[in-house]
Amino acid sequence: MAQFFSIHPEHPQPRLIKQAAEIIRGGGLVALPTDSAYALCGHLGDASLLARIRAIRGVDDRHLFTLMCRDLSEIATYARVDNAQFRLLKSATPGSYTFILEGTKELPRRVLHPKRKTIGLRVPDHALVQALLSELDQPLLTSTLILPGDLAPLSEAEEIRSRLGKLLDLVIDAGPCGAEMTSMINLVGGVPELIRAGRGSLALFGFAE
């Protein structure tokens, strides 16, 4: 059964952040609140994590995973970013956006899209998530916590524990969490392409709201 941590959303307790990081380093799968919706997350280097997330989400190997990063410099380590893309990223991070970019050799091939070799990347505007990323000193591999047949991501920690407690290692409760996914923008190819309208404002990219 999953452990359950109640962590302050703006002033996360260092002791609990350290414990959560240890669970992740040990191969744990965590339900984590973010600035958009709950996400399933775990250690980037854990090969078994992908199968666990896919089984919960009900998706196949074409599902696009997302790296949750601390900042722009971390994005640039794991994705190919040119000057124009960097300016766009700088204007929109941190925030509720997921950007699709080509991965670098720093990423295991298994986390990239099998044909396009792309991955989603984001910098969340959430103090708890940023504290956890700093403690880990590397990105988290994530996927939105939306279950097969559901119309929206799960947003209540107690419901997540009730429905998925036997499949997860940790559920983090930080109070109310949204149930709206990030806005997803494809930056491969030079011209931003809107893949999914979500929580992040689209005006920055010239799209109609």
CA 125 – CA 200 distance, rounded (Å): 11
What's residue 203's pLDDT?
87
pLDDT digits over 113-168, tens only? 888 899 999 999 999 999 999 999 999 999 999 999 999 999 999 999 999 999 99
Q: Return d(Cα 94, Cα 90) in angstroms, integer.
A: 8
Angle at 159 between CA 155 and CA 164, to 5 degrees: 105
Domain tally, the chain = 1
CATH number for the domain spanning 85: value is 3.90.870.10
* Those residues with Cβ within 8 angstroms of residue 51's Cβ, 6 or more apart along the chain or in another chain: none
Residues 102 and 194: their CA atoms lie apart, in Å, by: 16
- Print the domain residue range for 197: 3-205
For position 61, what pLDDT does the model report?
Answer: 86
Strand 66-68 to strand 140-144: parallel, antiparallel, or no bridges (unpaired)?
antiparallel
Give me the helices (H) in the chain, please.
14-25, 49-57, 72-78, 83-92, 127-136, 157-164
Q: What is the pLDDT along the chain (209 residues), one digit of tens a residue?
A: 999 999 999 999 999 999 999 999 999 999 999 999 999 999 998 989 999 999 999 999 889 999 999 999 999 999 999 999 999 999 999 999 999 999 999 999 999 988 889 999 999 999 999 999 999 999 999 999 999 999 999 999 999 999 999 999 999 999 989 899 999 999 998 889 999 999 999 988 888 76
